[in-house]
Copies of this chain bind each other. A is one copy, B any other.
Amino acid sequence: MNELPLWQEVQKDLQEVEAELLRQVDAPDPVLSQAARHLVQAGGKRLRPAFAILAARCCGAPLERVLPLAVALEMIHMATLVHDDVIDASPLRRGRPTVWARWGQELSLHTGDYLFARSLLLVAAYDDPRIPSILAATSIQMVQGELHQLADAFDLDVSVRDYLKRIYRKTALLIAASCRLGAIAAGAGEAAIRHLDHYGRNLGVAFQITDDVLDMVADPERLGKPIGSDLRQGVITLPAIYALRACPKKHKLVCLLAKRDKTAAEIQEVIELIKNCGGIEYALALAERYLDRARQHALFLPKGPARDTLKGLTYYVRTRGI
């Protein structure tokens, strides 16, 4: 992502986020420091800090005002990733061994708890009590989203509506919170806060839809992990939900999707069935509708390079890695 020209607007700010992240995860315990540093150095798009910074800049605030928040948002995101890796027993993330694979369950669990607590300590220093409140409330909803995903696993009767509700909590909420909190940290008025919140919600939903598409069609090397991991875990995503209605070999698809331990060939077969009936195009078209809405909300924000970048990011979400 960093190579995109539109990203240059926050490139320098994100370098400061990176330095502050490394400072923040430093702990007296050497193993904890190492694990947390490993997580930071595994990289990532730093989407949430970028949105918080762009939102704050859009509302006229300097980086210093939003930096602790930006770092806290990334640490909360990292905390969920490290716990997810325990749950999914994932050996790799972004092409590197996970904390779980390298240091085991106990340390992964503690690292997640540690990062979460650190992020809340960081935002507790803001004078606006809405900031820790919104962050804690968002975390609560994210857990509920994860549990929905667990409850819906291998449930082939899941609707588009259920799916959207699940990804809204799982992903869109933290992106929306990043935008909204960036505006709050900047001391923005209610209207800007609301438009940034809606921008984030819509963009977040589109981001997760395309993420779910990438899990079926991406180059595994670029993805940093094998494709089809959702299918293996029984997570029924939008292309599959569409294919369950549109696929001419519906019964074949049902049997394959419901199967618990799919072989690599079966995963490939499911993906082909989904692709052939237009499941990917359907999902991307729906993502595009959400991106359109995000763009509409961006129009109401104060003019300037930060707004242009926020608008530009909606095009990036559609095209990344596909």
Contacts and interface: CB of A to CB of B under 8 A. Distances in A.
Interface string A124-149: 11010100110011011001101110
Copy count, this protein chain: 2
Given A124-B136, A125-B129, A132-B132, A151 B118 contact: no
Given A105-B87, A124-B129, A144 B113 contact: no
Contact of A117 (B31, B109, B110, B139): B139
A163 interface: no
Contact of A127 (B112, B113, B120, B129): B129
A168 to B, nearest CB: 13
Interface residues on A, range: 35 or more
A39 to B, nearest CB: 15
Interface centre among A29, A80, A107 (most CB of B within 10 A): A29
Contacts of A121: 133, 136-137, 140
Contact of A110 (B105, B124, B143): B143
A286 interface: no
Given A86-B105, A86-B109, A32 B133 contact: no
A183 to B, nearest CB: 18
A154 interface: no
Interface string A199-240: 000000000000000000000000000000000000000000
A42 interface: no
A32 B129 CA distance: 27
A290 interface: no
A105 B150 CA distance: 12
A137 B123 CA distance: 12
Contacts of A80: 113
B109 A147 contact: no
Interface in A147-163: 147-148, 150-151
Contacts of A132: 120, 124, 132
Contacts of A86: 105, 109
A322 interface: no
Closest 3 CB pairs of A and B: A121-B136, A117-B139, A124-B133
28 contacts: A28-B144, A31-B151, A32-B143, A32-B144, A32-B147, A83-B109, A107-B147, A107-B150, A110-B143, A110-B150, A113-B113, A114-B140, A114-B143, A114-B144, A116-B116, A116-B117, A117-B136, A117-B139, A118-B136, A120-B120, A120-B136, A121-B133, A121-B136, A121-B137, A121-B140, A124-B132, A124-B133, A124-B136
Given A83-B113, A118-B136, A124-B132, 19 more contacts: A29-B151, A31-B147, A31-B151, A32-B143, A32-B144, A80-B113, A86-B109, A87-B106, A107-B150, A109-B109, A110-B146, A110-B147, A110-B150, A112-B113, A114-B140, A116-B117, A117-B137, A121-B137, A124-B129
